[in-house]
Structure 1
Amino acid sequence: MLSQLRELIWQDWIWFPEGLGWADLKDHDGKVYPKLTDLWAALPIALCFLVVRQIFERTVATPLASLLGVTDKQRFRAAPNPTLESYFCKVSKHPTQSCLEDLCKQTGCSVRQVQRWFRQRRNQDRPSKVKKFREASWRFTFYLLAFFAGLAVLVDKPWFYDMKQMWDGFPKMPLLPSQYWYYMMELGFYVSLLFSVASDVKRKDFKEQIVHHFATITLISFSWLVNYIRAGTLIMLVHDASDYLMESAKIFNYAGWRRTCNLMFVLFAAVFIVTRLVILPFWIIHTTWVYPQTLYAPFIGFYFFNGLMFVLQCLHIFWAALILRMVVKFLPGNHIVEDERSDKEETESEGEDIDNGRKEKSKNGHMQNGHTPLNNNHSKRE
C-alpha cells in the first residue's frame, strides 16, 4: 500500500507540466540533474554548522564582545520560594491583581515583595546581552558570506538579468557544481537553525520564525527536486541581501554604537523593503506565478511552489510593519533602534516607577482597592 501511495504522490502530472516528468531529470551524456538523495547532504552540513557555530562563538564572538565592551548587567536572582516558583512555571509569569493578592496571602509577603520576586525571576530567564551578541555575530557572518557566495554563483548567469530565462529548457537544465554547494549550504544552515531553536534567543515573533524556517526548508527542498534551482538561487540571494545588515545593526546596538546602529538599521530597512516588498513579489514571484502560465497549463506543483512563496511574502509584510514601526519611533527623537521582537530586561527602578505611578492613580480615585496594581506585562520592547 505504501508503494502505491508513493507512486501516486510522485506522478509526473502532479509536479510537472504536461509532457514532462521525472524521466527528464535522469543523468545522461555527462549532464547531472538534482536528485532526492542529494538533500540528505544537508543533515551533516547542518551538524557541521552547529559545531562551527560553537567554535566561532567561543573563539571569535566572545573576544569581540569583550573588545567592544559588551557586558552583562549584574542580575539579582529571585530568592527560592516554592509557591511563587510553581505559579511562575505553571500558571503565568505576570500574575493578575487578584492572583497577586492570593499569592501575598499564601506566602506572607507584601505586594511589593511579590512584584519584585516576579520581576527578578523573569529577568533570570531573559538571554544575556553577550549571548545575543554572539548569536548576532554568527548570523551576520553566515549571511554576509552567503550573500557574496550567491552573487558569485549568479552574476554570470543570464537569468540573473532576465528572469524569464529561468524557464528556458525547463526542467532539462543541468545542475552546476556552484548551484549544488550554494543550495546545500543554505539548506544546511536553515536546518541547523531548527536544531538550535531551543537554545537560541526567543523573540516575540518566535512562531513566525518557525513558520519561516519550515517554509524556507520546504521551498528549498521542493525547488531542488523539481529543478526550480534557477528561481531558488534568486530567492535565496534576495533574502541574504538584507539579513546581514539587520544582524550588523544588532551587533552595534549591543556594543552601544548608537549612530552606527541607527545608520545600519536605516540601510537594512531600505534594502529589506526594496528586496522583499518590491523585487521578490513584482519580479521573482511574477516570474514564477504569472509568466509560467504563458508557457504551461498550471499544475499542482506550480500551485504548491507559489503557495510557499506567498507564505513567505506574508511574513515579509508582517516584518516590514515591525521595521517601519521601529523607524517611526527612532527617527523623530534620534533614539537608538530597538528590536520590536525582544523583551527588555526589567530593572528595579522601572518596576518602582510603575508602582509609584499607579499609586498616584489610586490616590486620584482610579483604583478602588488598597493594593498597588500589577501590570500584566511590564516588559518593554528591545
Structure 2
Amino acid sequence: MGLSEGFWHHEYWLPPGATWEDMKGSADIHYPQPQDLLLCIPGALLLIVIRLIFERTVALPLGRKLGVSDKLRPKVQPNATLEGFYVLLGRTPKEEDLVSLAKQSDLPVKKVETWFRHRRAQDRPRLMKKFCEASWRFTFYFTSFFSGLTLLYDKPWFWDHTVCWLRFPQQPLLPTLGWFYLLELSFYCSLVATLPFDVKRKDFKEQIIHHVATITLLWVSYCANLIRFGMIVMLVHDASDYILELAKMLHYMRWKRVCDAVFIVFAVVFIISRLVVFPLSTYYYFVTKFQLFPVACLINTFLMVLQLLHIFWSYLIAQMIFSVILHNEKRKDARSDTEESDRSEAEELAKNKE
C-alpha cells in the first residue's frame, strides 16, 4: 500500500462499515470530495484581493467620515548605530545598552532613550489601519453568520442535533452548504496568509493556534462528510465575532459609552455560545451519540483545543468588564493607546474566529 493510499484509507476517515465507494455519489447526488478543498487556495487569494479593495474604497473613507484619525508621531533623526541595535538586538535596550549606545553615538543617554521611544511609536500600527482591519472582519463575520443562519434555519438537523448523524456518512451535500464551507475555509486561510502584515495582537500566539485548529477542523470534517456538524459549530462560533469587531470599530471612533455597551453584549453572546451552547449541546452530541473512529478522535482533540481557548478568552473578557467598564478603573491596560504602550485593546485581546 502506497503512502497516499495509506493516508486516505477509509478506516481512518469514515466510521466502521463505510468505504469511499459509498461516497462516490451520482449525477443527482453529490458527496464532499477531498479535491474540492483545492479551491480554498484561489479562494483565499481572491478574499485577500477583495479585502484590499474593501479597505481602500470602503473602510478608509468610512473611517475618515466617522472621525477616525491617526495621532501625529514625532519623527526620529536617522542614526545608523541606534537603528542597527533596534533592528538586530531589540526595541527596548537595557540601561547598560543605553549607556553604551550613548557613547557610540556621542549623544546624552536621555536622547538615546527618547529616540527608541519615538522609534517604537513609529512602528506601532496606526488607528486607521486597525479600523480598516476591524471593518473587513466585521463585514465578513456579519455576512457569514446571517448567511449561515439563513441556510440552516429550515434544516431539521439544525434544531435537533441528533438528526445530524442519521445515515452518516451517506448524507448528500447541498451545493450551497458546500460552497459556504469552502468560503469559510478560504477566509481562515487568508487570515493566516496576512498574519505577518496585520496588526499584531497581544494574543498573537493564541490566534495562530486558533487559526490552525480551525483550518484543520474544516479540512478534516469536509473530507469525512461531517458537514452538518461543522456548519452548526461554525454558526455557534460566528454568533459573537461580528459583535466584537463592531466594538473595536466603536473603540477606534472613541465612542466610549456605545463601545462599552456593545462589548458587554458581545461578552454575553460569547460566553453563552462558547461556554454553554457549544460544549453542552453541539459538542455533547458529537461525543455521546457518535461512533468514534480515528478522524473523529482527531476532531475531538482540536475541539478541546478550541474550548481551552474559549475559556482563556472568556477570562480576559470578564476581567475587562469587571475592572475597566463596571469599576471604571483608569490604568495603562489593554485599552491604553498611549505612546509607550505596545498592548492591544482589550477587545482585541478577547478575540476568538473562529
The TM tier, using the shorter chain, reads: over 0.9
Q: Residue 163 of structure 1 aligns with which residue?
A: 161
Which digits, 9 at most, give the CA deviation of each residue in 1:320-350, with x for residues without a partner? Answer: 121111112223344699983x873416xxx
Q: Residue 59 of structure 1 aligns with which residue?
A: 57
User: Which residue of 311, 316, 325 corresponds with 2:310?
Assistant: 316
Q: Residue 365 of structure 1 aligns with which residue?
A: none
Which digits, 9 at most, give the CA deviation of each residue in 1:203-251, with x for residues without a partner? Answer: 1111211121111111111110000000100111111110000000000
> Aligned runs of 1:170-319 on 2, under 5 Å?
170-292=168-290, 296=291, 298-319=292-313
Contact 2:202–2:343 under 8 Å retained in 1? no
2:331, 2:246 → 1: CA distance? 12
Larger Rg computed on CA atoms:
1
Contact 2:157–2:228 under 8 Å retained in 1? yes
Contact 1:139–1:247 under 8 Å retained in 2? yes
1:20 and 1:339, CA in 2 relative to 1: closer, same or farther beyond 3 A? farther
Q: The residue matched to 1:325 in structure 2 has which SS? A: helix
Moved more, 55-64 or 94-103: 94-103
Q: Residue 339 of structure 2 aligns with which residue?
A: 346
Instruction: Structure 2: state its 5+ residue gaps.
Output: 346-354
1:339 and 1:282, CA in 2 relative to 1: closer, same or farther beyond 3 A? farther
Q: CA RMSD in A?
A: 1.9
Contact 1:143–1:243 under 8 Å retained in 2? yes
Shift of residue 290, structure 1, vs aligned partner:
2.2
Contact 1:70–1:130 under 8 Å retained in 2? yes
Moved more, 267-276 or 103-112: 103-112
Report the TM-score, using the length of structure 2 for normalisation. Answer: 0.93
Q: Residue 88 of structure 2 aligns with which residue?
A: 90
Shift of residue 123, structure 1, vs aligned partner:
0.8
Report the TM-score, using the length of structure 1 for normalisation. Answer: 0.86
Q: The residue matched to 2:239 in structure 1 has which SS? A: helix
1:380 and 1:175, CA in 2 relative to 1: closer, same or farther beyond 3 A? closer
Q: The residue matched to 2:74 in structure 1 has which SS? A: coil
1:313 and 1:337, CA in 2 relative to 1: closer, same or farther beyond 3 A? farther
Q: Residue 123 of structure 1 aligns with which residue?
A: 121
Which digits, 9 at most, give the CA deviation of each residue in 1:6-28, with x for residues without a partner? Answer: 11122222222221122221113
Q: Give the letter for the 1:299 counterpart.
A: F
User: Which residue of 123, 133, 136 corresponds with 1:135?
Assistant: 133
1:124 and 1:321, CA in 2 relative to 1: closer, same or farther beyond 3 A? same
Q: The residue matched to 1:275 in structure 2 has which SS? A: helix
Shift of residue 71, structure 1, vs aligned partner:
0.5
Q: The residue matched to 1:80 in structure 2 has which SS? A: coil
User: Which residue of 38, 41, 45 corresponds with 2:39?
Assistant: 41
2:128, 2:187 → 1: CA distance? 22
Shift of residue 70, structure 1, vs aligned partner:
0.5
Moved more, 135-144 or 56-65: 56-65
Identity %, equivalent residues: 46
Q: Residue 114 of structure 1 aligns with which residue?
A: 112
Which digits, 9 at most, give the CA deviation of each residue in 1:115-143, with x for residues without a partner? Answer: 11111111111110001001100100000
Q: Give the letter for the 1:232 counterpart.
A: G
1:273 and 1:165, CA in 2 relative to 1: closer, same or farther beyond 3 A? same
Q: Residue 322 of structure 2 aligns with which residue?
A: 328
Q: Give the letter for the 1:71 counterpart.
A: S
Aligned residues: 345
Which digits, 9 at most, give the CA deviation of each residue in 1:144-179, with x for residues without a partner? Answer: 000001101111111211111111110000000221
Q: Residue 371 of structure 1 aligns with which residue?
A: none
2:280, 2:134 → 1: CA distance? 30
2:287, 2:221 → 1: CA distance? 14
Contact 2:24–2:30 under 8 Å retained in 1? yes
1:252 and 1:216, CA in 2 relative to 1: closer, same or farther beyond 3 A? same
Shift of residue 97, structure 1, vs aligned partner:
1.9
Instruction: Structure 1: state its 5+ residue gaps.
Output: 348-377
